[in-house]
Amino acid sequence: MVLLNQFGTDMVACLFMVVMLPIVYIYELGTVLPTIHPAHTIGFYLHIVAATYVLATIFGNLFLILRTDTTTHATGVILPSILKKGWRFCSYCEYNAPPRSFHCHQCNKCILKRDHHCVFTGNCVGYANHRYYLSMIVWICLGTLYSNILNFDYTWEVLGGLTWRSLFSMVLPLVSWLFGVTHAFTFYVALVSSLCVIVFFLMVALVVYHSMLISKGQTVFELNHKIKDYNYGWKANITEALGKNWYLAWINPLIPSPLPGNGIDWPKGIGPEEVKDM
């Protein structure tokens, strides 16, 4: 896949994430951390290492989401000219697409086991990069949790304690700054802190949602259309999405975790009664 297939909403959303992640990183290490651990102490350096690893892992997964080819041509397999059972003809690409593959109008390509189009990466999440997407949102969730823990005492101290003014500044930092309720630095602290809180809860919801889908062997489309044909049991479903080393794959994007299938052939899964017995 090429970097950022669209230059509208996708570009703005992706640039926002790419810019804000380093800003939060610099804020936490340059502004908040020195108030907790003095510079050049063991605690100070441990936090730098931890925060740097989190940031590098997020960007590593983002890069691999962007650079991994998720299209139906990625496997190198010649697609059949005869429409097979369970396949569909794509009138946009003008060839037969395998089961679970759908055309993305943003990417303008058919995507293997298409899950959804992610506006913050400007690319589709599909068979080949599903692992990197889930790992990225997991690490953003952990990173914002880490930031919120660091920020808690410092933010309320800067905002002047738990008052209506501080609450207003946290909920609407830009409005409070424009109306003179807060000064520029207080606005900066409130903006970053409130952003970390919002993103944390958003990421928790996304991690739970996509983990549930993966464990059930479903994509977003299949959930919405109540399709349950590809449930192989929770462990096999996770392996299909995250690879054979799924229990390690989330730790770092460089850890090899080969996928067991080819993204084209999808046998029917086990029935609901068999799932209950597992």
Residue type present at position 265: D
Residue 247 Cα distances to 58, 110, 139, 257, 276, angstroms: 18, 29, 15, 9, 23
- 110 DSSP β-pair partners: 103
93 counts as catalytic:
no
Helix axis angle for 184-216 and 164-171, nearest 10°, is 60
d(CA 223, CA 229): 11
Catalytic residue of the set 14, 107, 118, 196: 118
Residue type present at position 234: W
User: What are the contacts of 208-214 at 24+ separation with CB within 8 A?
Assistant: 210/115, 210/133, 210/134, 210/137, 211/134, 213/115, 214/130, 214/134, 214/238, 214/241, 214/242
CB burial of residue 60 (10 Å; 0-12, 13-18, 19+) = middle
- 104 DSSP β-pair partners: 109
Q: What are the residue numbers of the active site?
A: 118
